[in-house]
Amino acid sequence: MKVSHEFDSVVYPDSKVLILGTIPSVKSRESGFYYMHPQNRFWSIISFLFDEDIPASISDKKEFLKKHKIALWDVLNSCDIVGSSDSSIKNPIVNDIGEVIKKSQVDTIFVNGKKAFYLYNKYCLDEVGIVAKYLPSTSPANRSISDEDIKDKYKEILKYLI
C-alpha cells in the first residue's frame, strides 16, 4: 500500500537534536502524530530521560519536545508498506532532512531503529552531512531489547542537549 507522510516535522528554532523514525505507523497516521501506538515505548522512554510524566495530548507532546530542544521527523516522505512493517518498505521517497537542519540548531541526529538508520545512510547522509547515531527501535514489534536496556541506550541523547 502506498503511504505518504501526513503530518509535519516538529522542529523549533532552538532544537538541538533530531530524532528520525522511518515513516509513521498505522496508529500514528490515524492519530496524526509520532509514536502514537499505545505499546510504542518512545514517549515513556523520552519522558523517563527527563524524569517527567508522559505527555498525554499531542499539544503536550509538542510542548515537551520544545522544552527539551528535540525535533522529530521521519526519514521517509512516502513508500509502499504493508501495515507498519518497516521490513516491507519498497519505493522509498525521502524527506528533505536538510530543511529541519536549516530552521533549527540541530547538530546531532539520532535514528529510531535499524531501517531508519539504513535509509538515512543510503539516501540522506551525503546531502545532510551529519552522521546519524543509531538507537534501537521503540516499536512494539521490537521486544528483543528490555525496557531497561533501551532506556540506557536512549540516555545518549542527553549528552547533546546540555
pLDDT band at 19 (very low <50, low <70, confident <90, very high): very high
Neighbours of 64 (CB within 10 A): 19
Decide if pLDDT at 65 tops 80: yes
- Give the per-residue pLDDT at 100: 92
- Which residue is associated with the grid cell 522544552? 67
- Give the per-residue pLDDT at 18: 98
Angle at 116 between CA 115 and CA 120, to 5 degrees: 120
- Give the per-residue pLDDT at 142: 82
Query: Are 123 and 18 in contact, with CB atoms under 8 Å apart?
Result: no
By the 10 Å C-beta count (0-12 exposed, 13-18 middle, 19+ buried), 132 is classed as buried
Q: Where are the domains of the chain?
A: 2-156
Query: Are 71 and 18 in contact, with CB atoms under 8 Å apart?
Result: yes
Q: How many residues does the chain have?
A: 162
Decide if pLDDT at 162 tops 80: no
Query: Are 91 and 1 in contact, with CB atoms under 8 Å apart?
Result: no
- CATH number of the domain at 2-156, please? 3.40.470.10
Q: Which string of DSSP letters, residue by residue, matches 75-94?
A: SEEEEE-STT-GGG-EEEEE
Mean pLDDT over each residue of the chain, to the nearest integer: 95
Point out which residues pair with 20 in neighbouring strands.
73, 111
* pLDDT tens sequence across 25-61: 999 999 999 999 999 999 999 999 999 999 999 999 9
* pLDDT tens sequence across 105-147: 999 999 999 999 999 999 999 999 999 999 999 988 887 889 9
Q: How far apart are CA 106 and CA 134, in angstroms?
A: 16
DSSP structure class, residue 144 = S
